[in-house]
Structure 1
């Protein structure tokens, strides 16, 4: 049974059809990413319950605290679907590249909250998120030939990362001396 995602990606060679239904893979990838991302955020005391973070000055354009949980749940869901679409494609160098980029950005993603919120390293978080920006951009480009839907599902994630990158940087600028391991990047 063809799905909308399969139909959108239909202009492929006959030998490039999904090897298994993407939605069956998504039944695993989506909950794993949502639960893992939520757990890492919780364990690193991310957000407005963090005693180090709460007193910091925030950029004027920062979204309200409740928005972060909602947005990250949606983004991890999109990431899980994108990963499932990529995994459903036949093995190839392009698929291997996309999976490596996905894994790399995910490791940086999961390291950011413990670095920024858990350790209070504003500059370290900034470097991690810059790495995510680069890897997610490369991932979107690498995913496009495999699944346009997967690539498009990652665009909101990149947009949110760009906002988060700016928030991270501005938080450092607004709070000199708050970084527990300053590298001289944001001024924190």
Structure 2
């Protein structure tokens, strides 16, 4: 179990780091600061705290899912789709300033994480709570991205 958690911690935080490399100036950029943002947009520090918590919980979640799944190639494929979408959102939204592209990516990412939640809940039962921070945060983030798309 410990080895699986470490592997998923490395993979998940690598996704955040890689996405961050291609973010440009991100939240403090002039472009982002001038956008009309949703009134429920949290302060900038919340994003780092949220993503750290999410990736820790998701790493434990994946470590618990792994031994329960017979079709490992399928699980790896869904995980890779999630990983790629997670990495792709930051540069799409911040670097390329493509609000619609970001909205499409985060919407599909939300569906993929929702798939994990509902597909593996029967096997994991209460341990499924570990993916809830990711799913709830993506619902919020999708609404923030959608608001920016509609208002700018």
TM range (shorter): 0.7 to 0.9
* Inter-CA distance 91–136: structure 2 relative to 1 (3 Å threshold): closer
More helix by share: 2
Backbone CA RMSD of aligned residues: 2.0
Count of residues in correspondence between the two structures: 152
The ranges of structure 1 where at least 4 consecutive aligned residues each deviate by more than 4 angstroms after the TM superposition are none
Deviation of the 1:50 alpha carbon: 2.3
| Per-residue deviation, residues 28-63 of structure 1 (Å, max 9, x unmatched) | 221331243134224313632223212212111100
Distance (Å, rounded) in 1 between the aligned partners of 2:18 and 2:84: 14
The answer as to whether partners of 2:15 and 2:83 remain within 8 angstroms in 1 is no
1:161 alignment partner in structure 2: 138
1:63 alignment partner in structure 2: 42
Higher relative contact order (CA 8 A, sep 6+): 2
Deviation of the 1:167 alpha carbon: 0.2
The answer as to whether partners of 1:116 and 1:124 remain within 8 angstroms in 2 is yes
Distance (Å, rounded) in 2 between the aligned partners of 1:46 and 1:32: 24
Distance (Å, rounded) in 2 between the aligned partners of 1:77 and 1:40: 17
Query: Of the two, which has the highest radius of gyration?
Result: 1
